[in-house]
Structure 1
Amino acid sequence: MHTDTERCLRAVQSKDARFDGWFYTAVLTTGIYCRPSCPVVPPKPENMRFYPSAAAAQQAGFRACKRCRPDASPGSPQWDERADLVARAMRLIADGIVDRDGVPGLAARLGYSPRQIERQLRAELGAGPLALARAQRAQTARLLIETTALPMAEIAFAAGFASIRSFNETVREVFALSPTELRGRARPGPRPTTPGTLTLRLPFRQPLNPDNLFGHLAATAVPGVEEWRDGAYRRTLDLPYGHGIVALAPRPDHIDCRLSLTDLRDLAGAIARCRRMLDLDADPEAVDGLLRTDPQLAPLVDKAPGRRVPRTTDADEFAVRAVLGQQVSTAAARTHAGRLVRAHGEPIDDPGGGLTHLFPTPTALAALDPDTLAMPRTRRATLTGVVAALASGTLQLDVGSDRDEARARLAALSGIGPWTVECIAMRALGDPDAFTPTDLGLRRAAAGLGLPATPAALTRHSARWRPWRAYAVQYLWATDDHPINHLPTN
């Protein structure tokens, strides 16, 4: 979008927050870059330059605006919507792969050479993977500087910097303040109730309807791994350097996030996973605008706009749970998952609640005895087949996965039908166009609205909802008075 100068100018002049994260505005006369909705008086058009990423603006020599804090804006919805190489790379960079494994690790995961990755990212985003990862490190450092009392040396290494010197230089270059000055300017915020807990605000594009989002997560919560407590969804996180516990609560203009980590190097990745789970980088104006063009869906969208797709923090975990949920009730699926967790999950301590375990990894589940599973023999075989594929790496479902390839590999596994494939595509792979026409609840909702109710006819009709069919599913499911569609009250 940054190449469409007229459109960018209109967004800046109207301070349109919908475009925050889509592009960044740099001002030649001040040397700063802003989000489109920055509250300051817009500069003259001839003094503006537009960049596709914060990293590109930083590389061009611009500093982040201290007022609108462009590095804290919602991410571009493109990286969740798109399935191409650049989008897959951006999801992996957000998950911290460059800091952990370098550019060669990113390239190996995507199946391209480092030179090809560098060229494609520079062509579209104006910055290579190292610069994009550096911009993320700067944002992580700012969060830790402003929300903790940690010594600067600990913050530097937790944010992924190789030295105190590079930490100091980057913070000064990006924010035009030293780390100490940045901490001194921080506004006093709410203090965490648990020692070692970080309290953050996760932004999103308005509107956001929390009902089906948090309702689904709470109603399907696996005992010991997830819970709804004191108005927040809480869960354990299995992260590259350790584990964590997060509590997420909806607020009118942000998601309140309380995060406890055993290793602060996991901070950026943990935030990225929580944002993906809650679909916070979605563009609800685009989604709802298209769905409203269908007369049958328009009343549902108008009644409760801004529905998101509840996703997951761990794609392998969700694949296992999707198999456990085949042809059984929500309660039965939770029971099966809870048994696996108690038998094979890693125990953890939770001083602030009732969480007890991490969800077991595919490697841990690969050793289970299928005869101990209280489910039909065919489903036991399906579960062990999925676990074996995940543990061996022949099936990859992380944020860098090729969605079409993952679908094909899933469909090739015994006992995995179209419903399971599309559920995993929707919630684990994050495909915004995933669609489950064989789902009984979806067909019942469609029939009640006068839409075609057979899978083939409903699929044909759904072509007008593309590329947002996963969101149409949320609106249709929400017509049923099921706990997954209601924000818990306790």
Structure 2
Amino acid sequence: MDMNVEQLQAAVAGRDARFDGWVFLAVTTTGIYCRPSCPAVKPKREHQRFYPSAAAAQDAGYRACKRCRPDASPGSPAWDWRSDVCARAMRLIGEGVVDRDGAAGLARRLGYSLRQLERLLIAEVGAGPAALARAQRAQVARTLIESTDLPMGQVAFAAGFASIRAFNRVVAEVFACSPTELRAKTRTRPAGGGAIALRLAYREPFEPSNLFGHLAAAAAPGVEEWREGAYRRTLRLPGGPGTVALRPGPGYIDARLRVADLRDVTAAVARCRRMLDLDADPHAPMEALAADAALAPLVAKTPGRRVPRKADAEEYAIRAVIGQQIATASAATIAARLADRYGTPVEDPEGGLTRLFPEPAALAEADPAHLPMPAARKRTVLALAAALADGRVELGPGADWAASRAALAAVPGVGPWTVEMVAMRAMGDPDAFPVKDLGVIKGAESLGLGAGRALEARSQAWRPWRAYAVQYLWATGEHPTNRIPEPREKASA
């Protein structure tokens, strides 16, 4: 967001929540930093300072406001829709890569020297990778302190701190109180039963129907399920398998997380946020799409649609190939069979979730006779699994979208539709546009937008938000993916 100081000051004066996560307000007289929308402060302009990240504000010596909790605001949408090295670095930091591999490990993943990466991030967000990871550790610590009854030593370990002393110091610096005092002030209660209860914030407006509709309708039994108003699935995490239940709430997503290793909380939360597109700025795509007379009524009717993604990008890529030219339910059944044969077992105290979807290396060695699909599609699944396993195709949060598109297209049997679907729902490219998708074609024709080249030409005005246009085009139909299941409806039926 490119804004001058006068515009930022106007946003503070109007307590405009649209700027939360884009920029952070620090007050020189109090030593506190806030969201622009914070109702607790309205400082004089000469006392206002603005920072592009919570880490930058903390690095400058400011403490987080106890009322608006700026450290817990939705992440900057810039890291969600950009594909440059800073955006890729921020997504990897969100996954906990610095905690696991250090700042030097992050730089190696991106193909830069540590000095180059630090220089780029400081210029962009006002803090280097170590400071950004420190800010994230503080937020994870706060979440665990307030939402669990874990001993403080385990909280420090789970949040990525090297020692209790460092944990105590950072919490005191960032939140102006000790960990024990922070827990005493919380109003939330632990989830119990070994689950970690979290609230995942998002920017309003937020339309959950297509998000949860897609996830529920395509759920592969054993890997995913829709139960009692929540989408539940298994998660492949660095320290072992986990599970999560996600339920839309008023102003947040309610998450109940179980992990084998507490250090995986950071990665699990990042994947859930990416899966539900929670760090998006809904206003930017809405404004662009509403400028088209055909789309404007749809945007006005259901503002805030997000792009449904998958927690595991490699899983989605393989399942996209499996789902070519067959019904959603049939594709989910095939995915469940593969998981049952080749997936890793998972323990679920609540029952229902039994397997992780198979890793690419396992599928690459699969017997073609065990793949219930046409011969050509078998070859494509095996070729894609091999390319993912050996690194020829990279789809993770640190991937270069252009390079990944080219690598995908080079896999025999992977055509433009698959590339665009993977770009949209696995990599998170907001401009992905599967122009030959049947749902897109039907939606466009119902609005008089044409098809093929005519639709491609019309879509140029929607850039870089064409993936959001896809959600509105899909929603013109009556497919189950467009609605949250009724209480007794089984998503995998």
**1:255 to 2:269 alignment:** no
Deviation at 1:2, TM superposition (A): 7.2
Distance of 1:370 and 1:107 partners within structure 2? 39
Residue 82 (structure 2) aligns with = 82
Distance of 1:443 and 1:285 partners within structure 2? 25
The AA in structure 1 aligned to 2:210 is: N
Distance of 1:215 and 1:188 partners within structure 2? 29
Q: How does 1:85-234 map to 2 (within 5 A)?
A: 85-189=85-189, 191-192=190-191, 194-234=192-232
Question: 3-state DSSP class of the match of 1:135?
Answer: helix
Residue 349 (structure 1) aligns with = 347
Question: 3-state DSSP class of the match of 1:233?
Answer: strand
Residue 490 (structure 2) aligns with = none
How many residues in Structure 1 have an aligned counterpart in Structure 2?
487
Q: Select the residue among 303, 306, 321 that pairs with 2:319.
A: 321
Residue 328 (structure 2) aligns with = 330
Deviation at 1:3, TM superposition (A): 5.8
Distance of 2:332 and 2:200 partners within structure 1? 28
Distance of 2:3 and 2:440 partners within structure 1? 40
Residue 370 (structure 1) aligns with = 368
Residue 469 (structure 1) aligns with = 466
Residue 483 (structure 2) aligns with = 486
Residue 413 (structure 1) aligns with = 411
Q: Which deviations, in whole Å up to 9, do the C-alpha atoms of 1:367-417 show, x marking residues without a partner? A: 211122121111111000000001111111001000000000000110000
CA RMSD, aligned part only? 1.0
| Kept after mapping to 1: 8 A contact 2:220/2:335 | yes
**Taking structure 1 as reference, are residues 390 and 162 closer, same or farther at Cα in structure 2, changes over 3 Å only?**
same
Distance of 1:431 and 1:440 partners within structure 2? 20
Deviation at 1:188, TM superposition (A): 3.2
Distance of 1:88 and 1:223 partners within structure 2? 32
Deviation at 1:284, TM superposition (A): 0.9
Q: Which deviations, in whole Å up to 9, do the C-alpha atoms of 1:416-445 show, x marking residues without a partner? A: 000000000000000000001111221111
Distance of 1:154 and 1:2 partners within structure 2? 41
The AA in structure 2 aligned to 1:480 is: G
Distance of 1:3 and 1:477 partners within structure 2? 34
Distance of 1:181 and 1:7 partners within structure 2? 37
Gapped regions of structure 1 (runs ≥ 5)? none
Which stretches of structure 1, 4 residues or longer, exceed 2 Å deviation after superposition?
none
**Which shows bigger deviation, 370-379 or 90-99?**
370-379
| Kept after mapping to 1: 8 A contact 2:153/2:164 | yes
Q: Select the residue among 275, 284, 287 that pairs with 2:285.
A: 287
Q: Select the residue among 386, 399, 402 that pairs with 1:401.
A: 399
**1:302 to 2:277 alignment:** no
| Kept after mapping to 1: 8 A contact 2:364/2:383 | no
Q: Which deviations, in whole Å up to 9, do the C-alpha atoms of 1:137-179 show, x marking residues without a partner? A: 0000001111111111111111100011110110001011011
Q: Select the residue among 456, 461, 465 that pairs with 1:459.
A: 456
| Kept after mapping to 2: 8 A contact 1:2/1:8 | no
Distance of 1:20 and 1:256 partners within structure 2? 20
Residue 70 (structure 1) aligns with = 70
Deviation at 1:464, TM superposition (A): 0.5
Residue 44 (structure 2) aligns with = 44
Q: Which deviations, in whole Å up to 9, do the C-alpha atoms of 1:238-257 show, x marking residues without a partner? A: 00111211000111211111
Deviation at 1:18, TM superposition (A): 1.0
Deviation at 1:358, TM superposition (A): 0.8
**Which shows bigger deviation, 462-471 or 332-341?**
332-341
Gapped regions of structure 2 (runs ≥ 5)? 488-493
